[in-house]
Structure 1
Amino acid sequence: MAAALDVLPYRHVLTLPNEPGAVRLARETAQQALTEWGIGLHRTVVDAALLMLSELVTNSVRHAAEMSPQITVMYTASGSRLALAVHDRHPYQPPLPRADTVTGGGLGTVMELTRQHGGTAAVHGDADGKTIWINLPL
């Protein structure tokens, strides 16, 4: 999946301390990047993407901070696609809830919003931990 995203012309990578303030900073940085790229912040899909980003960073802060003192957030976009990713060094790769599974908060919210907006989500593990990717049509 990452190779396909390499062709998106806009990209921003942010490394943050894995602490509660990271949620606000990741969201504010995403808003700034999207504005600079000419992607309107008042689109429903952008609102959903910012909420998903907040949920993913919050999950990392809550569940991975002990093993991952930093997280990396990546935003990529084109005129028709927006992708975001959150990487932490915790090796656990959470299963993404299925469409027929009702869950509250966290990944359940992320998956529900991803499906509602016609996007995809994936968890990719590597030697340094995991990355959760969200890919949405604009």
Structure 2
Amino acid sequence: MDSRSHASMQHLLPARHRQDGTWRFTVPPVEGSVPWVRHAVRDLLRRRRVPLGDELMFAVELVLSELVTNGVRHAALLTPRVGVEVTLQDGRLRLGVEDGHPYRPRALEASPDRHEIGGRGLLLVKAVALEAGGDCGVTPTAAGGKVVWVTLPLR
């Protein structure tokens, strides 16, 4: 099937089905990957016509910035590529960032400690996810790394 046939079939499907799917890509663990990921995901969501208002789009960009920055800053030595996964399914958006470092961030499970300097970005991610009615967590990978993920409901 050529791309024109596929595109015209997309218009015949209900809007919910046009949006659902999973997209994966990898980026090098360098600072320049952070804005690239943010823009790439924003463009993907716009092309898929995902119903995100400005506030939720800001939350998505903030979450991605924090998660990819953590992968770049804390896992670069053990991570040749940082993985990013975007899933739209059943009215929910799931963002996952995978790196090869075995350390599991505790900030998603804890309350802020005034004496700790790091980890506040992940606390912000947790707060954004919970305020939007979503969730967040860390899942180990078979290769010994982890995926830090956030789910957000689409309204």
TM-score (norm 2): 0.76
CA–CA distance in structure 2, aligned partners of residues 40 and 9 of structure 1: 12
1:40 CA displacement: 4.3
Q: Residue 78 and residue 43 in structure 1: after superposition, are their counterparts in 2 closer, same or farther (change >3 A)?
A: farther
Residues 87 and 94, structure 2, Cα contact 8 Å, conserved in 1:
yes
Gaps of 5+ in 1: 1-7
Specify the code of the residue in structure 2 equivalent to 1:123. V
The range that moved more, 104-113 or 80-89, is 104-113
Instruction: Let me know the Cα RMSD of the aligned residues.
Output: 1.9
Match of 2:135 among 93, 109, 120: 120
Which residue matches 1:5? Answer: none
1:98 CA displacement: 4.1
Match of 1:39 among 50, 66, 73: 50
1:66 CA displacement: 0.9
Please identify which structure carries the higher strand content.
Answer: 1
Bigger radius of gyration? 2
1:133 CA displacement: 1.2
Match of 1:102 among 93, 112, 124: 112
1:61 is paired with a residue of what secondary structure? helix
Specify the code of the residue in structure 2 equivalent to 1:67. L
Which residue matches 2:3? Answer: none
CA–CA distance in structure 1, aligned partners of residues 108 and 93 of structure 2: 21
Count of residue correspondences: 130
Give the 4+ runs in structure 1 shifted more than 3 A: 40-43, 96-99
Gaps of 5+ in 2: 1-18, 114-118
CA–CA distance in structure 1, aligned partners of residues 34 and 75 of structure 2: 14
TM-score (norm 1): 0.85
CA–CA distance in structure 1, aligned partners of residues 120 and 104 of structure 2: 17
The range that moved more, 36-45 or 15-24, is 36-45
Residues 108 and 136, structure 2, Cα contact 8 Å, conserved in 1:
no
Identity of aligned residues (%): 37
Which residue matches 2:37? Answer: 26
**C-alpha deviations, 1:60-116, integer Å up to 9, x for none?**
1110001112100011114621110000011111124347x1366321110111111
Task: Verify: 1:84 aligned to 2:95, yes or no.
Answer: yes
Residues 96 and 122, structure 1, Cα contact 8 Å, conserved in 2:
no
Q: Residue 125 and residue 60 in structure 1: after superposition, are their counterparts in 2 closer, same or farther (change >3 A)?
A: same
